[in-house]
Amino acid sequence: MLSNATVQPETKSNGVSLKQTAEEMSKLSVKEQKVGRRALFDSSLISTEVSAQLPAQYVLRPLCEDDFEKGVFECLSQLSVVGEVSAARFAETFRTLLAQGASYMNVIEDTERSRIVACGTLVLEQKLLRNCGKIGHIEDIVVSSTERGKRLGLHLIHQLKHLGHALGCYKVILNCKQSNVAFYEKCGLEVRDVQMVEYFTE
């Protein structure tokens, strides 16, 4: 079972951004407006061991539906092109990810500033091979430039490895630039095979 949809307990907001327009609000179901903010997956899948190693003001958690306001795209933009995404588009995409149930996006929030400072995702691939096994693909790892060198990247990778194990994957894999190989080796991964690619769009 790949479903990761869950409802977070009530937290400080209802998950509907204060800056969202009435039109955007109307696109959310009544339930979504009343229930506490939703997380992409159950927070019991966050490693307590990894969380305990983070400096005090940082929290490791699943992506939540109010993270648009907390700068998730500013953080992601330090990895690659993010385009022009509105709050409504983010909300719609969040619902799609929830429904698909295979994408486990983790974030680290600096709670003193209410800003997302690191992101990393595990995407589950259901196989027929390996006794119908599962692979975890580590994707979209980024730490905000001002926060690098504080071991947030390392903690994020350890969390994604923990997730892969907890979800029953027989391995986790990723693609990266040569310049990041040493970082991933410090996280316990090893180089195996090569990546090949053909882009369909720029």
Beta bridge partners of 116: 109
Report the residue number, 95 or 151, with the smaller CB distance to ligand COA: 151
Quick count: other Cβ atoms within 10 Å of Cβ 60? 24
Q: Where are the alpha helices (DSSP H) in the chain?
A: 22-27, 30-34, 48-52, 72-76, 87-100, 129-132, 152-166, 181-186
Report the residue number, 44 or 195, with the smaller CB distance to ligand COA: 195
CB of 121 to ligand COA, least distance (A): 11
CB of 113 to ligand COA, least distance (A): 17
What is the Cβ-side half-sphere exposure of residue 97, based on CA atoms within 13 angstroms? Answer: 23
CB of 143 to ligand COA, least distance (A): 4
Report the residue number, 134 or 151, with the smaller CB distance to ligand COA: 151
| Chain residues in the site for ligand COA (CB under 6 A) | 79, 141-143, 148-154, 176, 179-180, 182-183, 186
Measured in Å, how far apart are the chain's first and last C-alpha atoms? 34
Report the residue number, 91 or 174, with the smaller CB distance to ligand COA: 174
CB of 170 to ligand COA, least distance (A): 22
Q: Which residue is nearest to ligand COA (CB)?
A: 153
What is the Cβ-side half-sphere exposure of residue 89, based on CA atoms within 13 angstroms? Answer: 6
